């Protein structure tokens, strides 16, 4: 089982901010902004490259939930959503996840 599958299964503890039957949001262990949350499908999808017609409803559900998480975190001034896919993007955990970053004015650097 991959690291985030273990977190989804509760085998590794995390600070959860949202959970339902199919997705989980928890605080990043090494935050890069005052608010840094990871949102994952509980089902294992390796990365954005693994999104397909069979599982894309999970991605839609994640994006429908992100605004509610941002509101609960009081990110009234905006936030950034990032998914790193593969080595060139610096993906370190091979389970699809979306970073929510906010709580400060973020750098505009994209690469
Ligand atoms: P990536 O680099 O793959 O886009 O993002 C992986 C993220 O997972 C990193 O921001 C890293 O800090 C976070 N992370 C790695 N291991 C753990 C862990 O055990 N618990 C939590 N909460 N976050 C983790
Ligand atoms: Zn996994």
Specify the ligand 1 atom closest to the Cα of 90: 2
What residues are paired with 19 via a beta bridge? 24
For tokens 């994209």, the residue is 110
pLDDT in tens, 45-91: 999 999 999 999 999 999 999 999 999 999 999 999 999 999 999 99
Residues near 92 by beta carbon (within 8 Å), at least 6 away in sequence: 84
Task: Give, as residue ranges, everything with CB less than 5 Å from ion ligand 2.
Answer: 2, 4-5, 44, 95
Is residue 17 within 6 Å of ligand 1 at its C-beta? Answer: no
* Angle (CA) 21 102 65, round 5°: 25
Residues near 13 by beta carbon (within 8 Å), at least 6 away in sequence: 7
Counting ligands in written order, the one closest to the CA of 46 is 2
Specify the ligand 1 atom closest to the Cα of 93: 3
Confidence band (pLDDT; 50, 70, 90) for 108? Answer: confident
């Amino acid at each position: 089982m991959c690291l985030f599958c273990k977190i989804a299964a509760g085998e590794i503890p995390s600070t959860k901010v949202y959970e339902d039957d199919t997705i989980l949001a928890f605080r990043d262990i090494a935050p890069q902004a005052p608010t840094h949350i990871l949102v994952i499908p509980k089902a294992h999808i390796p990365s954005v490259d693994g999104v397909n017609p069979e599982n894309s409803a999970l991605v839609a559900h994640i994006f429908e939930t992100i605004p509610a998480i941002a509101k609960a975190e009081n990110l009234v001034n905006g936030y950034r959503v990032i998914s790193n896919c593969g080595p060139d993007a610096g993906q370190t955990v091979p389970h699809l996840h979306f970073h929510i970053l906010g709580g400060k004015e973020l750098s505009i650097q994209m690469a």
